[in-house]
Amino acid sequence: MELTILGCHAATPRKNAQTTAQLLEIKGQMILIDCGEGTQMQLRKLKIKFARIQHIFISHLHGDHCYGLVGLISTFRLLGREADLHIYGPKGIKEMITLQLKLADSWTNYPLHFHELDNTLPELILDHEKFTVTTLPLDHRIYTNGYLFREKVGSRKINASAVAEYGVAVADMENLKKGRDIQLADGSHIANEKLTFPPDPPRSYAYCSDTAYKPDLATMVHGVDCLYHESTFLDSHQDLAIKTKHSTASEAGHIAAVAQVKQLILGHFSSRYSDLNEFITQAQNHFQNVHLAEDGKRFLWD
């Protein structure tokens, strides 16, 4: 999995501070998570071939997470897109986008599918050939979901030297990848394990923004390879975090520790802080492997 932070700042875009959007690649599938104003410019600036995006997941309908969506949808049309585009987001997102397209008399010339969400319990919303997506209900001022992305277990890997040694026919390779035992030309049976290696362990990514501190999130994201958890505030503004239903860096670190995730990325920083290193320090009181999101930064995990 490869994650590119397109924007990671709260509230309003500023010079060198984009609002929230992320690009996640899973086995060649390109997924956009949230889409603040200017996301399409960020995609261009980072030279990302964004026509490949097939799925977009919007956490909630605050502007800093979705005001770039209608522009991106329009740009796809202008670029002659033909492929289907699937948009997942809170109930209301379809009306928000279609009203704007209607007023512009500019309907898309590609199939645009809306999947509106209103469940307040975790829900499997996409069962793709290569991955699944489950909602992570969050606690914010309006209806908000995080998303949990899990790769599916891949094929077993051919052990090239063993296959050559046993003289396995090419026609049997697909069966081997699927974990089946095979029969050689002389009638002997060979166990799959002798001819293959196990598949890569499936990787996972949990995106949680925006949310107040929500202890039960730790159960839902238990053991993920990478957790992105918002940390709008530092401890000194705990009162503001409670009032606005956001989290502090300490709270994000606490969730990561209880959930025993492999790494934590912090983001959605309030503009009041000029030095972000304190976010790391406060999160590390609870959990060691912490990174700061940064516009344009890439994270890769195996």
Interface with a second copy (CB under 8 A):
11-15, 37-38, 40-41, 44-45, 61-63, 67-68, 70-71, 74-75, 78-79, 90, 92-93, 95-96, 99-100, 103-106, 141-142
List phi, psi (to 5°) of 113. -115, 125
**For tokens 């793709």, what's the residue?**
128
Q: How far is the CB of 93 from a second copy (least distance, A)?
A: 8
Is 64 a known active-site residue? Answer: yes
Pairing of strands 226-230, 53-57: unpaired
Count Cβ atoms within 10 A of the Cβ of residue 211 and give its class: 0-12 exposed, 13-18 middle, 19 or more buried.
buried
Instruction: Please choose, from the candidates 93, 36, 96, 94, the residue with its C-alpha nearest in 3D space to the C-alpha of residue 65.
Output: 36
Q: Which of 253, 252, 233, 254 is nearest to 243 (CA)?
A: 233
What is the smallest separation between the CB atom of 97 and a second copy, expressed in angstroms?
10
Q: How far is the CB of 95 from a second copy (least distance, A)?
A: 7
Least Å distance, CB 292 to a second copy, is 22
Closer by beta carbon to a second copy, 75 or else 132: 75
Residue closer to a second copy, measured from CB, 92 or 111: 92
34, 64, 210, 295: the catalytic one is 64
Q: Which is nearer to a second copy, 98 or 192 (CB)?
A: 98
Cα separations (Å) of 62 from 59, 65, 248? Answer: 9, 6, 19
Based on CB atoms, which residue is closest to a second copy, 24 or 61? 61
CA distance 151 to 128: 9
Catalytic residues: 64
